[in-house]
A and B are shown apart, each in its own frame.
Chain A
Amino acid sequence: MRAGVVRFPGSCDDVDAVLAAGMVGEATLLWHADPDLHGVDAVIVPGGFSYGDYLRVGAIARFAPVMESVIAFARDGGLVLGICNGFQVLCEAGLLPGALLPNDHLRFRCAQAELEVVNADTPFTRTCEPGQRLSIPVKHTTGRYYAPADELERMEADGQVVLRYAPGANPNGSLRDIAGVGSAEGNVFGLMPHPEHAVDALTGGSADGLRIFASMAEAVDGRVAA
């Protein structure tokens, strides 16, 4: 897998995302003002504070030149992963349902989060087991997942709720403890936790985040990755 990691003004987890994706393949940076995706197999929209989070998280980044290409890439079935601010951007872009709102406690939350894999039949979780626990850090102020009730019902029925915070471990007030959601077609995935920060037990609390990148590599390359 050759992954492209988008760098917006204000991105800050782009380098970690390149390192993480580089552990299961190749990874390169994509500049926000350049609409050319340079032939990558998958796109990662990383965490940070794109365009200073001005107006509303992800609202301005969603219209960056590179995003028009990312949207077309996703519509053609390409794999797109959004992490934290990247998740917010993909929701604003309409590639994922719902929106991220300020944490219910209004505080920045930086902690190791216990997650549960709800749907292991996606290109992003295929190396996991259903119900498997993952320990991956969260760090955000605007991570409360929201979608209208009827939309949530539809998403649950269609397997679009991919990751949940473990019972009692919801760090932000997300509806139904939702930590990560997929698109209806399954090729776009966004999550608030940071798998790119959990690829080495020495620094990430676990290496569970690698499951996400290994799953993507397996989906792209058709083989079991690291």
Chain B
Amino acid sequence: MRARVLIRPKAGILDPQGIAVERALPALGFTGVSNVHVGRLVELDVEDPSELDAMCRRLLSNPLIEDYEILEARSG
């Protein structure tokens, strides 16, 4: 299975990258943008998708500061 793991800062924790992007967009004329957060994308092929959750908890994310979301990517 081709999987995508989205990792984002936990709600309520200051996200200075998100704030910086949110402040930069209006300078380019894009208004009406709010709630910007910057995270990471990990793409991987896995033989046993049932292990993905443990991978996320042990290595791919730090559950204290980040939330993760596992998505199945379309093959090809």
Contacts and interface: CB of A to CB of B under 8 A. Distances in A.
A60 B65 CA distance: 16
Contacts, number: 34
Given A104-B16, A106-B20, 6 more contacts: A55-B59, A63-B59, A146-B13, A146-B64, A147-B64, A148-B64
B34 interface: no
A104 B65 CA distance: 15
B59 A103 contact: no
Interface of B: 13-14, 16-17, 20, 40, 59-62, 64-65
A218 to B, nearest CB: 33
Contact of B14 (A56, A60, A148, A173): A173
A102 B62 contact: no
B65 A101 contact: yes
B20 A98 contact: no
A95 B4 CA distance: 30
A99 interface: yes
Contacts of B60: 55
